[in-house]
Amino acid sequence: MTMVDDTGIFATTAQVQYKTGVNASTISNTVTYINNFMFQVESEINAVCRYNFSDNYAGLNADTKGLLNSVASNLAAIYVIIYDMSNYSSRTEAEDMINVLRDAALRQLAILKDKKVSDFIREVA
């Protein structure tokens, strides 16, 4: 069996798995699926913020990296949960988890898009 490494920039597989809960799908809550989800959410974050954090990641400060980690792992965890909700105790449990993750991601994206935060990020990078 070949081991697949994390390919995401903003968050690791383990960080996403922490947010999916114990009942997540054994198929979608794997490094292969999460790598795919991370590629998608990192691209989305860059587009929404109109700044390529991926290309400039090494030069970002720890606070910015922390925000990117949180928003990316939240969004990727949503994809993991949506892929297969059948392992959760109820659809409501899965939907509640999605709602909490989405709300946090929206707050974090708003922070990253804020002009003052954007100026701060670019000063440090």
Tens of each residue's pLDDT in the chain, 125 residues: 455 789 999 999 999 999 999 999 999 999 999 999 999 999 999 999 999 999 999 988 888 899 999 999 999 999 999 999 999 999 999 999 999 999 999 999 999 988 777 666 666 55
Looking at the chain, list the stretches that DSSP marks H as alpha helix, in order from N- to C-terminal side. 13-20, 31-49, 62-83, 91-113, 115-124
Closest by CA position to 88, among listed 16, 19, 17, 24: 24
Q: What is the pLDDT of residue 1?
A: 45
Q: What is the pLDDT of residue 123?
A: 61
Distance between CA atoms of residues 84 and 103, nearest Å:
21
Q: What is the pLDDT of residue 119?
A: 67
CB 87 within 8 A of CB 25: yes
Q: What is the pLDDT of residue 114?
A: 87
Spans of all domains in the chain: 13-124
Name every residue whose Cβ is closer than 8 Å to that of residue 21 and which is 6 or more positions away in sequence: 81, 88, 93, 97
Q: What is the pLDDT of residue 125?
A: 52
